Amino acid sequence: MFITLEGPDGGGKSSQIGPLVEFLTRAGYRVLATREPGGTPIGDRVRQVLMDLGSAEMHPRTEILLFQSSRAQLVEQVIRPYLAAGGVVVCDRYADSTLAYQGYGQGESLATLRSLLDFATGGLKPDLTFLLDLDPEVGIARRKAGGGEWNRLDANTLAYHRRVRAGYQELARLEPARWVLVDASQPPDAVQSQLRRIALDRMRAQEPSRQA
Ligand code: TMP
């Protein structure tokens, strides 16, 4: 089972993933948490280039391709081997981030991006994707208040972040069997309970023998 967490910045994905993985591990699954961009030594170096406030002159196509190189490495070095060994992978962002940010946010052609994504992932799609949906104004305020790093990509305009959110909502509407929309403005514990319940239900549904 391959689970991804998606959504606008500040939706709390990174703080939700640890407790979710812990819960699923206690439920008896082998679970790996990873993130994008990054998740491998090569990907982490690509992440630094992408996030660096000094990379201001980066061309949008360069940015798109860097996201794909980090992703290709993560898929082949980490995700596929873990899934093949029967494990569960929970990933903080994946291919849908490229559609939401570079597609809906920046206006790059969705068809072009989809073919790049297919190449980068070798066709690997998540089984379940949570959209931690949040008003970008709230998300940006949370990011600023959180005291974490403020990176090059955070510096985009509010209008851009609004397009990203609307893009995510459309992606979720287009593939309702894969996406589950979660209201990320709820208290973190409420978000966590929802993630746990839905993930466990889906996993049990995939493995009927475990229900006995
Ligand atoms: P995060 O690790 O804090 O989620 O930051 C990753 C940033 O990179 C976030 O602003 C979303 C952005 N991003 C893209 O624009 N395209 C992508 O394909 C991915 C994976 C992330």
pLDDT value at residue 210: 52
For the chain, how are helix, strand and coil distributed in percent, rounded to 5? 60, 10, 30
pLDDT value at residue 142: 84
pLDDT per position as a tens digit, 108-123:
999 999 999 999 999 9
Q: Is 23 helix (H, G, I), strand (E, B) or coil?
A: helix
pLDDT per position as a tens digit, 82-106:
999 999 999 999 999 999 999 999 9
Percent with pLDDT over 70 in the chain: 98
- Looking at per-residue confidence, does 208 or 194 come out higher? 194
Q: What are phi and psi of 205, to 5 degrees?
A: -65, -30
The residue contributing the CA closest to ligand 1 atom 10 is 153
- State the Cα–Cα distance between residues 68 and 62, nearest whole angstrom: 10
Of 16, 93, 121, 165, best ligand 1 pocket probe by most atoms within 8 Å of the beta carbon: 93
pLDDT value at residue 10: 87
> Which ligand 1 atom is the nearest neighbour of the CA of 98?
18
- State the Cα–Cα distance between residues 126 and 147, nearest whole angstrom: 31
Secondary structure letter of residue 56 according to DSSP: T
Q: Which amino acid does the sequence have at 38?
A: G
Q: Band of the pLDDT at 151, cuts 50, 70, 90?
A: confident
Rg from Cα positions in the chain = 17
Q: What is the average pLDDT score of the chain? A: 93
Of 94, 101, 171, best ligand 1 pocket probe by most atoms within 8 Å of the beta carbon: 101
**Residue 103 near ligand 1, beta carbon < 6 Å:** no
Q: Which tokens in the block code for residue 212?
A: 């006995």
- Edge-first strand order for the sheet with 128-133 is 31-35, 88-92, 2-6, 128-133, 179-183
The residue contributing the CA closest to ligand 1 atom 15 is 101
pLDDT mean over 45-55: 90
pLDDT value at residue 56: 87
Q: What is the length of the chain?
A: 212
> Which ligand 1 atom is the nearest neighbour of the CA of 71?
20
pLDDT per position as a tens digit, 162-183:
999 999 999 999 999 999 999 9
Q: Which tokens in the block code for residue 64?
A: 């798109």
Q: Which amino acid does the sequence have at 114?
A: R
pTM of the model: 0.94
**Residue 58 near ligand 1, beta carbon < 6 Å:** no
Query: Could you tell me the distance, in angstroms and rounded to a whole number, from the CA of residue 24 to the centre of ligand 1?
Result: 25
The residue contributing the CA closest to ligand 1 atom 18 is 98
pLDDT value at residue 212: 47
**Residue 101 near ligand 1, beta carbon < 6 Å:** yes
Query: Could you tell me the distance, in angstroms and rounded to a whole number, from the CA of residue 119 to the centre of ligand 1?
Result: 19
Contact present, 181 and 131 (Cβ < 8 Å): yes
